Amino acid sequence: MREADFYERLENGVVHCLLCPQDCRIRPGKTGFCRIRANQDGTLMALKYGRCASYAMDPIEKKPLYHFHPGTYIFSLGAFGCNLRCRHCQNWELSQGDGEDVEMPPVRAVDIARSWHRPGRRCIGLAYTYSEPLVWYEQVIETARLAREHDFKNVLVTNGYVRSEPLEELLPLIDAMNVDVKAFSDSFYREVCSGRLEPVLRTVERAHGTGCHVEVTCLLIPGLNDSPEEVEALAGWLAGVSKDIPLHFSRYFPSWKMTRPPTPLETLKKARDIAAERLHHVYLGNVWEMPRSETLCPSCGAVLVRREGFAAEAVELEGEKCRKCERSTSIRND
Ligand code: SF4
């Protein structure tokens, strides 16, 4: 562990964490809402710095990032802890649990990414993922700095729930993000996730505005966030940021504290059709019945990328342009 960034000392040994909008004021001996930042004798400590609960070499499509170096791999790692408490969390063993983890100082993470780079399996960098990387902030920023020295990309798979100052410090090191927008309703965030919507939208807008490649995922839950009106509002807001930002609708399955049945396929297809009226690229995820997907050129309809499961193949993509009509695409492929 190490001393945390972004906090202030208050009276009586209390510390005020300034990393995320949960705004925790933590008494000595206690942890914050995310459970991995703790007040030890008046100093805020990042408990999971240098520790890692899960790591693997994943296809970039699995993050999901469909428009960021398709067909490549990324060394993915994460720790325990999260600053939201979504009742349906699909990864609650990590986000809400604690248990065995391994030593993973930043230098080791970058070394593993380098050693796993093989012909035919291009590793483009590191993805901070699995639980919530923003509460693992010190590990992420130090590893990202080191990764850049080795010409690696940095990817964040995140709930986007962070305050402005830490976000601004981190963004110059992050090449791509997938941000989970869990619903387009503040009441959903308050009642289901113990958070708020607005900071998440601000993270998407700010990240895109600084040139970071952004994709958005929304897990549709029957009866909670899947109404046509809400889907249209989400797509309309995202189109206002950029029509080129890919939107992934992901299928929910019962998990942790939520027992509703899985999202019907028809709901997902309907959401895709509604959002596709506003956005150029809308995808479905967690849907094994429909394993194929394609990215089409928004101008001429040529197939730019073809996917089967997590395997992707560039078809009419030349660098970042459509080979047929030469339109610039939103696919990063340098
Ligand atoms: S990062 Fe953790 S400790 Fe800090 S405000 Fe957010 S939930 Fe609280």
Q: Are residues 286 and 260 in the same domain?
A: yes
Q: Are residues 180 and 313 in the same domain?
A: no
Q: Are residues 260 and 131 in the same domain?
A: yes
Q: Are residues 65 and 125 in the same domain?
A: yes
Distance 303 CA to ligand 1 centre (A): 43
pLDDT of residue 121: 77
Over the stretch 70-98, which tens digit does the pLDDT of each residue have?
A: 999 999 999 999 999 999 999 898 888 88
Over the stretch 30-61, which tens digit does the pLDDT of each residue have?
A: 999 999 999 999 999 999 999 999 999 999 99
Distance 38 CA to ligand 1 centre (A): 9
Mutate to test the pocket of ligand 1, among 3, 37, 131, 139 (most ligand atoms within 8 A of CB): 37
Q: How confident is the model at residue 291 (pLDDT cuts 50, 70, 90)?
A: low
Percent of the chain residues past pLDDT 70, beyond the cut: 99
Q: Are residues 160 and 239 in the same domain?
A: yes
- How far apart are alpha carbons 253 and 276 in whole angstroms? 24
pLDDT of residue 230: 98
Give helix 106-115 / helix 137-149 axis angle, nearest 10°. 50
Distance 134 CA to ligand 1 centre (A): 9
Q: Are residues 33 and 180 in the same domain?
A: no
Q: HSE-up of 246 (CA within 13 Å, CB side)?
A: 26
Q: Is 324 helix (H, G, I), strand (E, B) or coil?
A: coil
Is pLDDT above 70 for 268? yes
Query: Relative to the CA of 26, which ligand 1 atom is closest?
Result: 3
Task: Domain of residue 20: give its range.
Answer: 2-46
pLDDT of residue 334: 78
Q: What does the DSSP 8-state code read for residue 260?
A: P
Number of domains in the chain: 3
The pLDDT of 156-181, averaged and rounded, is 98
Over the stretch 183-222, which tens digit does the pLDDT of each residue have?
A: 999 999 999 999 999 999 999 999 999 999 999 999 999 9
Distance 91 CA to ligand 1 centre (A): 19
Query: Relative to the CA of 4, which ligand 1 atom is closest?
Result: 4
Distance 312 CA to ligand 1 centre (A): 37
Distance 89 CA to ligand 1 centre (A): 18
- How far apart are alpha carbons 70 and 130 in whole angstroms? 20
Q: Are residues 226 and 280 in the same domain?
A: yes
Residue 214 belongs to domain with CATH number: 3.20.20.70
Q: Are residues 333 and 231 in the same domain?
A: no
Ligand 1 residue neighbourhood (C-beta within 6 Å): 17, 19-20, 22-24, 32-34, 37, 83, 135
Q: Are residues 130 and 15 in the same domain?
A: no
Secondary element (H or E) of residue 106: helix 106-115
Q: What is the DSSP string of 45-67?
A: EETTTTEESEEEEEEGGGTT-SS
pLDDT of residue 118: 73
Q: How confident is the model at residue 259 (pLDDT cuts 50, 70, 90)?
A: very high
170-174 — which CB contacts under 8 Å span 24+ positions?
170/137, 170/140, 170/141, 170/144, 171/206, 171/207, 171/210, 171/212, 172/210, 173/141, 173/144, 173/145, 173/148, 174/144, 174/207, 174/212
Mutate to test the pocket of ligand 1, among 16, 17, 49 (most ligand atoms within 8 A of CB): 17
Query: Relative to the CA of 134, which ligand 1 atom is closest?
Result: 1
Is pLDDT above 80 for 107? yes
Is pLDDT above 90 for 295? yes
Amino acid identity of 212? Answer: C
Q: Are residues 276 and 330 in the same domain?
A: no
Is pLDDT above 90 for 272? yes
The residue whose C-alpha atom lies closest to atom 3 belonging to ligand 1 is 32
The residue whose C-alpha atom lies closest to atom 2 belonging to ligand 1 is 34
Q: Are residues 225 and 137 in the same domain?
A: yes
Distance 113 CA to ligand 1 centre (A): 29
Is pLDDT above 80 for 117? no
Distance 22 CA to ligand 1 centre (A): 6
Query: Relative to the CA of 44, which ligand 1 atom is closest?
Result: 3
The residue whose C-alpha atom lies closest to atom 4 belonging to ligand 1 is 17
Q: Is 259 helix (H, G, I), strand (E, B) or coil?
A: coil
Quote the mean pLDDT of the chain.
95
Q: Are residues 9 and 158 in the same domain?
A: no
Query: Relative to the CA of 31, which ligand 1 atom is closest?
Result: 3
Mutate to test the pocket of ligand 1, among 10, 22, 82 (most ligand atoms within 8 A of CB): 22
The pLDDT of 126-131, averaged and rounded, is 96
